[in-house]
Amino acid sequence: MLVGPDFDNIYPMYAIIETGGKQYWVVPGEVLHVEKLTVQEGEEVTFKALWSASQDVKNAAASDSPAAKVTARVIRHLQGPKIIVFRKKTKKAYEKASGHRQELTEIEVKDIQLT
């Protein structure tokens, strides 16, 4: 994350959203992968911003002032990379391998509305 006097000039508007138990720092136009959402491809989804800022206004926390809204468009649903889980017990000749691929949704942040 960039820190310094030019930070607001590089990113004039940004927000922190929470989805799938994780927090994401987003700017308009950014494409990111989040935990799978139950929304069809091409539809828009709205997130409540935990924290938001622009060159003019900074909302320190959602509890202090009305929170901003982040609007995003669902691009596609996909699976993440395969993760191999390998279990072994020493001296017992026990080995077990299994794989996992996380279901993800690719979204594009359209707009951040400070209210």
pLDDT in tens, 81-98: 999 999 999 999 999 999
Map tokens 């400070």 to a residue. Answer: 114
pLDDT for 1 beyond 50: no
pLDDT at res. 115: 72
Confidence band of 111 (pLDDT split at 50, 70, 90): very high
Angstrom distance (rounded) from CA 115 to CA 13: 13
**Residue ranges per domain, the chain?**
7-113
**1 neighbors 27 (Cβ within 8 angstroms):** no
pLDDT for 68 beyond 70: yes
